[in-house]
A = this chain, B = another copy of it.
Amino acid sequence: MNTTVAQTNHQIRLARRPVGLPTRADWSFTAEPVAPPEAEGVLVKTLALSLDPAMRGWMNEGKSYIAPVAIDEVMRAVGIGVVIASDTAKFAVGDRVSGALGVQEYARFAAKQIARGELVRIDLHLGTLTQWLNVLGMPGMTGYFGLMDVGQPKAGETVVVSGAAGAVGQTVGQLARIKGCRAVGIAGGPAKCEWVVNELGFDACIDYKAGPIKDGLKAHCPKGVDIYFDNVGGEILDAVLTRINRHARIIICGAISQYNNTEAVKGPANYLSLLVNRARMEGIVVFDYAERFPAAIAELAGYLKDGRMKSREDIVAGIDTFPDTLLRLFRGENFGKLVLQVAQA
């Protein structure tokens, strides 16, 4: 079942552990011949990769929710690809698939990886290829289960989400609206804030670059904050803590403001607001909900279809741009879900 494949697989590997923001020197560019699939395996051609804040964490040593990327290993990245050679009846050439392809042009999946469900067929009737890296992908799943399972929103509550124009934030705010909540975003700059309100339909969006977050929260959350979905940590988390309601839920999804710190992480100094308000702060790791992804994807695809949910992807072409493109996340330069296009679909 093999078709002709290109000869060379260009890859980007982690050359050393970065201190602060990753630089070009933290990466190595390698090329190796493309090998055919192993027995009962497949060969996938990478089409697009998801660039996510979490990638910064994977580059650090030490215990986390997932093993760090090893030095000289191909950088981990979730992506969408097309099966170009298959030795298993489970996948056919031409199938669109999603999995941890890595930052490389071709990825092989062995039989045992396939058995573990590490490669999933995607249905382009439910969403576009890049939506499968966004609302229907890990960011969407993170937003969905973080909000619904950890946050447990009730109609009429106020939901605040930071990184509102980012991949997770888009899903959280729009889903909050669909569930009958007031959705207030936090994003950087007027363009993002306008888009979040006018295009995505959030009730309000606070521009953290324009002035103190506290004032924005006061103005746009007149009944306080019931749920805060935190993608950024740092001062914004501390500001929201001063505005939470009784029994508020704070979902700790990420802390992009802290990922490239060369100093110690800044803990939330206002955490005793949890005590005063009998509130809780809880972490989410999306992988825990894998069994329920299909149901969540079906629900979100329905919202995409009926227009209640929109998505925006910020697509940059060329695998070689990876080191610089990744930095756009940490500079807040991406507008929508950041996608690295590796090949034409």
Contact = CB atoms under 8 A, between A and B. Distances in A.
A258 interface: yes
A279 B65 CA distance: 12
Contacts of A280: 280-283
Nearest to A259: B272
A93 B297 CA distance: 68
Given A267-B267, A269-B267, A284 B275 contact: yes
Contact of A265 (B270, B277, B278): B270
Contacts of A238: 267
A233 B277 CA distance: 17
A274 interface: yes
Contact of A271 (B254, B267, B273, B285): B267
Contacts of A179: none
A255 interface: yes
A277 B283 contact: yes
A266 interface: yes
A76 B65 CA distance: 46
A63 interface: yes
A265 B276 CA distance: 15
Question: Which size class do A's interface residues fall under?
Answer: 20 to 34
Interface string A286-310: 0010000000000000000000000
Interface in A63-97: 63-65
Q: Output the residue of A65, A255, A271, A278 with the most chain B CB within 10 A.
A: A271
Copies of this chain in its oligomeric complex = 2
Contact of A279 (B278, B279, B282): B282
Contacts of A274: 252, 281-283
A18 interface: no
A310 to B, nearest CB: 28
Contacts of A63: 276
A280 B279 CA distance: 10
A268 interface: yes
Q: Output the residue of A268, A273, A278 with the most chain B CB within 10 A.
A: A278
A264 interface: yes
A119 interface: no
Contacts of A266: 267, 269
A151 to B, nearest CB: 12
A101 interface: no
Nearest to A248: B283
29 contacts: A65-B275, A65-B278, A233-B272, A252-B274, A252-B275, A253-B275, A254-B275, A255-B272, A258-B272, A265-B269, A265-B270, A265-B271, A266-B267, A267-B268, A267-B269, A267-B271, A268-B268, A268-B271, A273-B283, A274-B281, A274-B282, A275-B283, A276-B283, A278-B284, A278-B285, A279-B282, A280-B280, A280-B282, A281-B281
Given A265-B269, A265-B271, 10 more contacts: A63-B276, A64-B276, A252-B271, A253-B275, A267-B270, A268-B268, A271-B271, A275-B283, A278-B282, A278-B288
Ranked nearest first, the 7 interchain pairs of A and B with the lowest CB-CB distance are A267-B267, A275-B283, A280-B282, A274-B283, A267-B269, A267-B268, A281-B281
